[in-house]
């Protein structure tokens, strides 16, 4: 019998994967228009070139700080990788603004070094670490992950980081620890939306300890080969690719192990819309929209949403 691979329920079928010829043609089409990068076309409209060079200038200091990381071949995606400029100009970072296309401009005064991260709570060895010391200590790897926002946009990004498990092993969770609570910086002088007293700042997210210890759960310190630029949550953020993007908290200052489920930012604001678990699931619509399909930023291609964002093999056993 021929070596036929039967896809698991959660795997993305071949026919949903963009054929290479299709995206090569799209690239050519865009190149013919004199615009580099598929997303630039959809995001910037007519002044694409001018806008793109401004973004490149903003990214330059981060692009110069390359990170050495082994490419982990276990984590690749068959879909086309999202253009770096597209990913860097379509962000959610509500501390700065609610306008996704302007986050990259609003983070100008956000200083992400020096930066400390405190790990405390139900652990044997609480510690406070300088982020660059931490980066030196941890075995960095590059993983290409699918990313799915609850708002239905999606992207494919090469993150650089280390498994959260490796960090938790350093502090040694106590047996009573059940949850991991993560908190973002608080500085209303540089992040003006934090002056909005109606919202429960700072941004808080959480995972169960089992989710945090899962091999997929990544502490991210870089992207596209270099350190994180501020709009992606520098200097250190979470990526949990089987969950909606709001779980992937940015610019983390503290990690606390606890026996109580943390009260998370969006869950406090809109509990009916943003649950604690927030696993990607096409069969559970958001109360205001369907989750059956998603669209790729940049190309605008639409695909069916896949349960656990395609990572069921690694995480389905947790639920
Ligand atoms: N973390 C903080 N601190 N503040 C935020 O507003 N937005 C979340 C998540 N992490 C957010 C955050 C949401 S809704 C998404 S979709 C992702 O960050 C977006 O990550 P990206 O901008 O790097 O694509």
DSSP calls for 190-215? TSGGGG-TTS-PSPEEEEEHHHHTST
Whole-angstrom distance, CA of residue 28 vs CA of residue 166: 43
Instruction: Judge whether residue 61 has pLDDT over 50.
Output: yes
Whole-model pTM: value is 0.87
Does a structural domain hold residue 2?
A: no
- 216 part of a folded domain: yes
Among 223, 198, 16, residue whose Cα is nearest residue 94: 198
- Ligand 1 site, residue 153, Cβ cutoff 6 A: no
Number of the ligand 1 atom closest to the C-alpha atom of 149 = 16
Q: Which of 150, 233, 239, 253 to mutate to test the pocket of ligand 1 (most atoms within 8 A of CB)?
A: 233
Flag whether 5 is in a domain.
no
Is 198 domain-assigned?
A: yes
Task: State the average pLDDT over residues 304-310.
Answer: 98
Cβ(214) – ligand 1 distance below 6 Å: no
Domain count, the chain: 1
Give percent above pLDDT 90 in the chain: 83
- The answer to whether 229 touches 267, Cβ cutoff 8 Å, is no
What is the rounded average pLDDT of the residues 158-163?
98
Is there a domain that residue 6 lies in? no
b/e string for 188-216 if b means 16 or more Cβ within 10 A?
Answer: eebbeebeeeeeebbbbbbbebebbbbeb
Which residue's CA is minimally distant from atom 14 of ligand 1?
A: 246
Residues 201-222 pLDDT 10s: 999 999 999 999 999 999 999 9
246 lines ligand 1 (CB under 6 A): yes
Radius of gyration of the chain (CA): 19
Whether the CB of 232 sits within 6 Å of ligand 1: yes
List the residue whose alpha carbon is closest to atom 22 of ligand 1.
Answer: 91
Q: Percent of the chain scored above 70 by pLDDT? A: 86
Provide the b/e sequence for 291-301 (b: ≥16 CB within 10 Å).
beebebbbbeb
For tokens 């379509």, what's the residue? 90
Evaluate: CB of 58 within 6 angstroms of ligand 1: no
Instruction: Tell me the best of 62, 91, 92 to mutate to test the pocket of ligand 1, counting ligand atoms within 8 Å of each CB and taking the most.
Output: 92
How much is the pLDDT for 231? 98
Mean pLDDT within 66-86? 96
Domain assignment of residue 274, yes or no: yes
pLDDT average, residue stretch 269-274: 96
Ligand 1 centroid vs 32 CA: distance in angstroms? 34
The DSSP annotation for 26-48 comes to HHHHHHHTT--SHHHHHHHGGGH
DSSP β-bridge partners for residue 238: 219
Burial 106-141 (b: 16+ CB within 10 A, else e): bbeebebeebebebebbbeeeeebebeebbeebeeb
For residue 313, the SS3 value is helix
The pLDDT of residue 196: 87
Residue 258 lies in a domain: yes
Q: What is the pLDDT of residues 92-111, one digit of tens each?
A: 999 999 999 999 999 999 99
Give the CATH number, domain containing residue 45.
3.90.420.10
Q: Are 214 and 315 in contact (CB under 8 A)?
A: yes
Taking the CA of residue 250 as reference, the ligand 1 atom at the shortest distance is 1
- Per the model's pLDDT, the better-predicted residue between 9 and 188 turns out to be 188
Closest residue by Cα to residue 108 from 189, 202, 197, 39:
189
Name the β-bridge partners of 255: 119, 182
Residue 48 confidence class, pLDDT cut points 50, 70, 90: confident
Label residue 49 by pLDDT band (50, 70, 90).
Answer: confident
Decide if 256 is inside a domain: yes
- For residue 45, what pLDDT is reported? 52
Give residue 289's domain range.
Answer: 14-318
CA distances to 126, 250, 257 from 175, rounded to whole Å, are 15, 27, 11
């Amino acid at each position: 019998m021929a070596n036929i691979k039967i896809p698991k329920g959660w795997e993305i079928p071949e026919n949903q994967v963009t054929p290479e010829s299709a995206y090569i043609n799209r690239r050519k089409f865009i190149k013919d228009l004199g615009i580099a990068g598929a997303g630039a076309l959809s995001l910037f409209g007519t002044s694409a070139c001018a806008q793109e060079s401004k973004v490149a200038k903003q990214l330059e200091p981060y692009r110069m700080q390359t990170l050495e990381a082994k490419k982990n071949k276990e984590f690749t995606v068959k879909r086309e990788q999202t253009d770096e400029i597209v990913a860097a100009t379509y962000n959610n970072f509500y501390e700065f603004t609610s306008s996704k296309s302007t986050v990259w401009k609003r983070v100008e005064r956000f200083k992400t070094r020096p930066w400390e991260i405190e790990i405390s709570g139900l652990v044997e060895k609480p510690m406070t670490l300088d982020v660059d010391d931490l980066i030196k200590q941890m075995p960095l790897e590059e993983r290409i992950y699918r990313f799915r926002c609850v708002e239905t946009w999606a992207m494919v990004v090469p993150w650089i980081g280390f498994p959260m498990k490796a960090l938790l092993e350093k502090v040694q969770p106590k047996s009573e620890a059940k949850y991991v609570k993560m908190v973002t910086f608080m500085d209303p002088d540089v992040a003006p939306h934090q002056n909005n007293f109606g919202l429960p700042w700072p941004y808080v997210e959480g995972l169960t300890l089992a989710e945090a210890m899962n091999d997929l759960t990544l502490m991210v310190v870089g992207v596209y080969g270099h350190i994180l630029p501020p709009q992606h949550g520098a200097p250190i953020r979470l990526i949990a690719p089987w969950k909606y993007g709001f779980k992937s908290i940015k610019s983390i200052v503290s990690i606390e192990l606890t026996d109580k489920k943390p009260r998370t930012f969006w869950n406090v604001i809109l509990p009916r819309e943003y649950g604690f678990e927030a696993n990607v699931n096409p069969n559970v619509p958001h109360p205001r929209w369907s989750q059956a399909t998603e669209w790729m930023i940049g190309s605008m291609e639409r695909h069916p949403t896949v349960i656990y964002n395609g990572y069921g093999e690694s995480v389905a056993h947790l639920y």
